[in-house]
Amino acid sequence: MGRTNPTYREMIRAMEDRWEDYRRALRHEDQVAFDRLFEHAHGYADAGGMQTHQPIEIAVLVSIALAHQQRIDDLEERLDALEDDLNTDE
């Protein structure tokens, strides 16, 4: 029977395993942030799975950057709305 290629989600888990010693050396609050980075990668697993010809690290880093960009965009929108509210009250 032939071998099958690992899924993108399996490759993310394997990457997390490779980084476990690094994670363990981090302070607790940094471990929590580190785990959230991989949550972003898992959140974009469907899109990442389409990039199987690329090294897994590239797709993971792009997923993390995309999640961070969306968070920045959300925070900027909220800040703009707060500034508008403050300017309207004057």
Give the pLDDT score at 39. 94
Give the pLDDT score at 90. 64
Pair of tokens at residue 86: 């403050």
pLDDT exceeds 90 at position 88: no
pLDDT tens digits, one per residue of 14-71? 999 999 999 999 999 999 999 999 999 999 999 988 887 778 899 999 999 999 999 9
Which of 11, 16, 52 is closest to 34 using CA atoms?
A: 16
pTM to 2 decimals? 0.76
Look-up: residue for tokens 């960009």?
69
**How does DSSP assign 19-71, residue by residue?**
THHHHHHS-HHHHHHHHHHHHHHHHTHHHHGGGTTS-HHHHHHHHHHHHHHHH
